Amino acid sequence: MQSVKVGFATLASSRAMCSSGLFSPGFTNLSAICRVQCSLYQSRFCQTASKPEETPVIRIPRYMQQKIENVKQTRGKNKIPTVKAGKLLIQSKNPVLNQSAGYILGKFEQPVLSSKGWKHNKSFGDYFTINNIKDVAPFVAESQTEDSTEQTTTTTTEAFSKLRICKELLEVLNSMNITNPTTVQLQTIPKIMSRRNILCAAETGSGKTLSYLLPIIQRLQAEKKSEMDAVEGHRIHAVVIVPSRELAEQVAAVSRALCAPFGFLTKTVGGGRGVGHIKSVFKHSQPDILVATPGALIKALRRRCLDLSELSFFVVDEADTMFDPSFADMLQDILQRTNIARDPKETQGLSRKAQLLVVGATFPGGVGEVLSQVTDLGSMVVIKSKMLHYLMPHVKQTFLKVKGVDKVLELHQALKMLQHEKGGGPAVVFCNKSSTVNWLGYSLDEIGIKHARLQGEMPAVVRTGIFRGFQKGTVDVLVCTDIASRGLDTSQVRLVVNYDFPESHTDYIHRAGRVGRAGGVEDGEVLSFVSYAWDVELVQKIETAARRRTSLPGMESEIQKPQPKVEDAEE
Ligand SMILES: Nc1ncnc2c1ncn2[C@@H]1O[C@H](COP(=O)(O)OP(=O)(O)OP(=O)(O)O)[C@@H](O)[C@H]1O
């Protein structure tokens, strides 16, 4: 009797999955398998049931199916050692490889990976999901943050006013629906206000932009009044450098909103535009806050459009990209033209120097080497969030081993599922190359999926406004390269698809970080297609980190101190 019941449930659940097309990592392949399984189960079931034609179709919701599976695994005869009652952390195609959220691997225990055999061709169609085991992001949910230097505890429910943010700024925050600071804001804002140089390393989407803009504008407003009376003319108070034009526009938009009550001016200069355009930005007036990409800033400096020697703040946002070899030389050049304070006292008075704020979600080694040339590393306050370089516990992440030729179909299925089964919402599809973005764009055109494309090889004029349009909701799908993975705010995005698997952990963290952001939608998901043997090692490292609940391996979690300089031996 029991077996009939179980068989019945399985039949019905298989049917339910097939007929409703519920979101499942197998998508098209799975539905094909389901159809086969349905008929198999049907024939087996028909042998035990007297009137098969009268069999009622019971649709079992997916969460219930999972519960049934859990109960079977925890109480059944073939008990799976890594499965306990409760929510699953890892859910595999093969249930034997499931792992419960409540199961803790022993220190010397080697996890058995769902992706173990994924270098083999037979693994196509296999999948596993790292479930979201938390409902809210750690930077919001953590009720307490510890400030080790001051031995105090602060709750996130404390409003911004306790951070000594002025009334006008509080009103702007209110209008943005932002009432409680995130943990990174709680830690960073007081340090910046006490004029320290900081290095802030915190998860994607944790609100780092406001962490530095709020105290900058707060001080600007306090200093500006007295300065206007004393000094003629206008100087730039803060420069923020970011890796892309889109991010420059985004940071500038937040800055403009915050500056509005005080009438401060924010301007941007981005790459891809001629020198004439750059000169025109500075022609009539110098901005109070300048948001720039490094290339454009260097051009402006060479044309003497601005002077960095009198800045109050110098911000390096998306530090990992800015310290990357492609930008590092430019950054070094820019930093050497800036007077960076080595001590909070140096930030005051007429011969003031700039406070240095370095911000990012991932930190590569070597950051310290560049910084030590312009400031005293020991004087920098390092603010590092607890979950830095961890997989986001509040975002469901699915990995699907799929043949290259099937990726478009799987993508189509996932987008269709998002629109029709899950209530719709924007999706971002990441490719590794600009040419893939173009090719995939044509394929999506053919199947009638409206989308926008964004990649670095597009002419500047064509690129302008694409991301803003996507943010405003003109299209629901953005096909892009990693150019859109750094810093861009995609709070409404519900699905990130790694059409090409990212080439590094850093890229995975930044891409996945386009969902699960502060103040954004709460049920964002990541779906990654794994097609090639060379992707599998990275997948296995991610799965191991998830099963062990550790940070991703090979990522620097501490700012690297420069090695002592070795003097050349005299000949
Ligand atoms: N205290 C807050 N409460 C609610 N939402 C917030 C808060 N602070 C910032 N946000 C919102 O969170 C989103 C992400 O912020 P932001 O872009 O600054 O994140 P980030 O940490 O810089 O991310 P990334 O590492 O991807 O650059 C924005 O939409 C912002 O408006």
Full DSSP string of 99-138: EETT----TTPPPPPTTTTTTSGGGTT-EEEE----SS-H
Burial of 175 (0-12, 13-18, 19+ CB in 10 A): exposed
- Pocket mutation for ligand 1, best pick of 139, 163, 206, 209 (most atoms within 8 Å of C-beta): 209
Does the pLDDT value for residue 271 go beyond 80? no
> What are 45-60's pLDDT values in tens digits?
344 444 556 677 777 7
Does the pLDDT value for residue 567 go beyond 60? no
In single-letter form, the type of residue at position 437 comes to: V
Q: What angle do CA 415, 204, 62 make, to 5 degrees?
A: 40
pLDDT at position 75 is 60
Q: Is ligand 1 within 6 A of the CB of residue 518?
A: yes
Give every CB contact of residue 176 below 8 A, 6+ residues apart in sequence.
Answer: 257
Q: Which segment, 4-13, 108-117, 144-153, 530-539, is predicted with the most confidence on average?
A: 530-539
Phi, psi of 356 (to 5 degrees): -105, 125
- Pocket mutation for ligand 1, best pick of 162, 170, 177, 178 (most atoms within 8 Å of C-beta): 178
What does pLDDT average to over the chain?
81
> What are 337-392's pLDDT values in tens digits?
898 988 888 888 778 899 999 999 887 666 777 777 777 778 789 998 888 889 99
Distance (Å) from CA 210 to ligand 1 centroid:
7
Q: Which segment, 106-110, 140-144, 219-223, 556-560, is predicted with the most confidence on average?
A: 219-223
**Least confident among 35-49, 207-221, 434-448, 450-464:** 35-49
Does the pLDDT value for residue 432 go beyond 60? yes
Q: Is ligand 1 within 6 A of the CB of residue 215?
A: no
- Report the nearest atom of ligand 1 relative to the CA of 176: 31
Instruction: Specify the DSSP class assigned to residue 571.
Output: -
> What are 220-236's pLDDT values in tens digits?
998 876 665 455 457 89
Distance (Å) from CA 71 to ligand 1 centroid:
39
**Using 50, 70 and 90 to split pLDDT, how confident is the model at 409?**
very high
**Which residue, judged by its Cα, is nearest atom 23 of ligand 1?**
205
Q: Is ligand 1 within 6 A of the CB of residue 491?
A: yes
ipTM of the complex: 0.99
Distance (Å) from CA 84 to ligand 1 centroid:
36
Supply the pTM of this predicted model: 0.81
